[in-house]
Amino acid sequence: MLEQKILEQLFRQNYNKMIHLAKVLLGDDKEAEDIVQDIFLHVADSDILPKNDGYLLTAVRHACLNRIRQMQLHDKVKNLLPVYDETDQQAIEKRLEWLDDISSFVDEQLKEPHRSIFHLRFDDDLTIGEIAKRLGLNPNTTYKYLMQSIQRIRHYFENH
C-alpha cells in the first residue's frame, strides 16, 4: 500500500487533468468522478507507484472506454428485451380481448365460406392462393370474400 503523502501528492497533481478527461469522454460528471475515484483507490491499494502522469491519464481513458462499452451493451440488451410495465400489460390484455371479440363475431355472424376464409387467413396464416386451393375456389373470389368479411367486421366494431 502506498503512503498517504505520496497518494495525496499524486491526487493534487493529477486530479484536475484526470477528471477533465473523464468528463469529456463520458459526458457525465458523476460517472467521471466515479471513474477517477476508482483509479485512485486502485493505485492506493497497489504497491506500485505510477511512473508518470501519462499512466494515470491512460488509466482514465481505458476505464472510460470500458464504461462506454458497458453502457452500449446495456442499451443493446435493453432494446432486445423490452420490459413491460403494468400499463403495457393492460394494453396487451385489452388487445387480446378485442381479438377475442372479433373471433367471436366471425364465428357467430359470418357464414361459410367467409368464416373459413377468415380463419385460414388470420389463424393459420395462409395466403389467398393457398386458401383458394384448399377450398377449391378462384383466388379472386377468395379475396373478394375476405374483403367482404373484413368490411363487415370493421362496420360492426365501428358502430358498437
Query: pLDDT tens across 34-66, in order?
Result: 998 888 888 777 777 777 767 888 888 898 888
Q: Quick check: 82 pLDDT over 70? A: no
- Specify the pLDDT at position 130: 94
* pLDDT of res. 114: 95
Please give the share of the chain, as a percent, with pLDDT higher than 90. 33
pLDDT of the residue at 148 = 94
| CB-based contact 121:128 (threshold 8 Å) | yes
